[in-house]
Amino acid sequence: MAATGEEQQGTKAFYVSTPIYYVNDAPHLGHAYTTVAGDVLTRWHRQRGEKVWYLTGTDEHGQKIMRTAEAHGVTPQEWCDKLVEEAWKPLWEHLEIANDDFIRTTEKRHTDRVQEFVQDLYDKGEIYRGGYEGPYCVGCEEYKTPGELLDGEGEYAGLKLCPIHKTPVEMLKEENYFFKLSEYGPKLLEFYEANPGFVQPESARNEVLSFVRQGLNDLSISRSTFDWGVRVPWDDNHVIYVWIDALLNYATAVGYGADEQKFAGTWPADVHLVGKDILRFHAVIWPAMLMANGLPLPGKVFANGWLMVGGEKMSKSNLTGIKPQDLTDHFGVDAYRWYFLRAIQYGQDGSFSWEDFTHRYTSELANDFGNLASRVGAMTVKYFDGDLPAAPAAGPAEQVIVDGLAHATAEADRRIGDELDFAGGIAAVFDFIKKVNLYLTEQEPWKVAKAAIPGAADAAGSPEAQARLATILYTAAEALRAVAVLLHPVMPATSQQLWTSLGAEPALGPLADQRIAEAAEWGRLPAGARVTKGAILFPRLEDPKTD
Ligand code: MSP
């Protein structure tokens, strides 16, 4: 858990959430994808000096969880406790996720407030009793419209299938409570119009607009055929629909109805990160619920695309056995965090493959980044005994690096911090790394050293050559100082290693405290910093696996 910037007390936190995940099974690559993205985003904002609140958690009610627990012969609560403690929380720790809170929908701090919220809506006349019959997908925990169902084949011949899960839907007929969602269509459209950035990316916004324009149905918000859920406060025979329960986590976790000060300092969320499969819940139902209760609406719902395997959405059943830990064992945690955001445009679908990961690891991480760091460390140790020299002979070649850094920093800040274009922001930093490599290749410090070091080639080292050598190594080390700052949100451990090997901490303080806005301020790393060779940042991959 990360501390928030205490200097920012009193202002509203930049509040980011992930979906709360179903705990019917252990987390897979798809879940980790959204959670890592949120972590990078929040770390970026922390390094902007903002107060930040990053929330994740688990969605524990509903039929899906209940059936899974039954199949394993345990109670739903036992099942959830086990999965949360043994699978979900440990993975987030392993992936260095710095969430500020972890909400579970079975916690009393959540269930009490959910009841109050729904009771409020009931008292306001937003909820009524009615009947509904329709096809229901337990995987989605959602009624489907007949038009969107697929025709089953093979073992499912003659059955109608959920378009997402490709499993048969069930016909459900229930006497339920309904939320008057249909009345919110025009208000929502007005809201989207006034807030064009509310749903992103553009494709997601278009999907939501056309869905709402078709007209909304009222929403069944209770269930009476099973009891694993939060009781409807005025009717003991019903539990609250799992999606209403789940969406409210974003409010209950930050003190809604319980801690006014915390709520005021956090609410509303600035960014809800969601997969595109759950876009409508967040961009239609959720704002309508908040409107109905008079609460301020979130700033943005950003829908990420799907990680695909073999052309299908990655899910429990088609994971081809790859677990996040399999990849981190092979590539390391930081490379894992980096890869999915670097290789796939956030907001679009993307495929994962061992080959692509291996290729990018080797070319961008090991060759471009890792080699640069180790060359600079090794040469500073060799030629200057690890005492970082000053740069007395800076000229046009150095100015290219200074300008390149300013550009990379501004690009990365806008793309990652504002636009959630992680791939573009990371690419800007890696383009800069390439520039620094090119600079070294062109300046050939190893050749300059021959003229600079007494007795190496000439009898006496030339002062001009010494000044050049010092300038080249200072420039490269200072560039790496900034790279460590800019990559810290993405690769916290590796950047820390680099920070340590540059001897930056004694003069500049802890890496996590470095501000993005100061990253491009040239000359922050002082001459005299103790540079060491440091460990190899990206070791050669063992046992190159390909699938
Ligand atoms: N419990 C609901 C969410 C409630 S939020 C109030 C749910 N849970 S889930 O376990 O199915 O997780 C859904 C989220 O996991 C997706 O929205 C997405 O963020 C992430 N992903 C799951 N599979 C994914 C991929 N294959 N690719 C990308 N993200 C995926 O729905």
What does the pLDDT profile of the chain (547 residues) look like in tens digits? 444 444 455 799 999 999 999 999 999 999 999 999 999 999 999 999 999 999 999 999 999 999 999 999 999 999 999 999 999 999 999 999 999 999 999 999 999 999 999 999 999 999 999 988 899 999 888 889 888 999 999 999 999 999 989 999 999 888 899 999 999 999 999 999 999 999 999 999 999 999 999 999 999 999 998 999 999 999 999 999 999 999 999 999 999 999 999 999 999 999 999 999 999 999 999 999 999 999 999 999 999 999 987 777 776 665 556 889 999 999 999 999 999 999 999 999 998 888 999 999 999 999 999 999 999 999 999 999 999 999 999 999 999 999 999 999 999 999 999 999 999 999 999 999 999 999 999 999 999 999 887 765 455 678 999 999 999 999 999 999 999 999 999 999 999 999 999 999 999 999 999 999 999 999 999 999 999 998 899 999 986 554 4
The CA 277 to ligand 1 mean position distance, Å, reads 7
Q: Give me the domains of the chain, ranges plus CATH numbers.
A: 366-518 (1.10.730.10)
- Does the beta carbon of 19 sit less than 6 angstroms from any atom of ligand 1? yes
Q: What count of Cα atoms within 13 Å lies in the side-chain half-sphere of residue 514?
A: 28
Specify the ligand 1 atom closest to the Cα of 250: 6
Cβ-count burial 181-193 (b if 16+ within 10 Å, e if not): beebbeebeebbe
Cα gap 239→105, rounded to integer Å: 13
Apex CA 512: angle with CA 301 and CA 510, to 5°?
Answer: 175
**Which residue's CA is the nearest one to ligand 1's atom 20?**
31
- Does the beta carbon of 416 sit less than 6 angstroms from any atom of ligand 1? no
pLDDT at 317: 60
**Which residue's CA is the nearest one to ligand 1's atom 23?**
30
Cα gap 305→201, rounded to integer Å: 10
The CA 325 to ligand 1 mean position distance, Å, reads 19
pLDDT at 7: 45
User: Do 230 and 106 contact (CB within 8 A), yes or no?
Assistant: no
Pocket test for ligand 1, best of 17, 97, 277 (most atoms within 8 A of CB): 277
Cα gap 504→530, rounded to integer Å: 8
Residues that are catalytic: 28, 31, 137, 140, 162, 165, 313, 316
**Which residue's CA is the nearest one to ligand 1's atom 12?**
21
pLDDT at 320: 57
The CA 308 to ligand 1 mean position distance, Å, reads 13
Give the predicted TM-score (pTM) of the model. 0.93
pLDDT at 133: 87
User: To 10 degrees, the CA torsion angle through 271, 276, 281, 287?
Assistant: 30
**Which residue's CA is the nearest one to ligand 1's atom 2?**
21
Q: Which residue has the tokens 């980011």?
A: 16
- Does the beta carbon of 405 sit less than 6 angstroms from any atom of ligand 1? no
Cα gap 48→39, rounded to integer Å: 14
**Which residue's CA is the nearest one to ligand 1's atom 30?**
30
Cα gap 290→121, rounded to integer Å: 10
Distance from the first to the final alpha carbon of the chain: 36
Beta-sheet strands, E only, within 158-243? 160-161, 170-179, 199-200, 219-220, 222-223, 231-232, 235-240
Around Cβ 455, how many Cβ atoms within 10 Å? 8
Helix locations, 344-421, DSSP H: 354-360, 371-384, 396-412
Q: Amino acid identity, residue 111? A: T
The CA 464 to ligand 1 mean position distance, Å, reads 60
**Which residue's CA is the nearest one to ligand 1's atom 5?**
19
The CA 21 to ligand 1 mean position distance, Å, reads 6
The CA 27 to ligand 1 mean position distance, Å, reads 10
- Does the beta carbon of 324 sit less than 6 angstroms from any atom of ligand 1? no
User: Do 16 and 42 contact (CB within 8 A), yes or no?
Assistant: yes
Kindly state the helix (H) or strand (E) to which residue 17 belongs, with its residue range: strand 14-22
pLDDT at 460: 61
- Does the beta carbon of 88 sit less than 6 angstroms from any atom of ligand 1? no
pLDDT at 451: 87
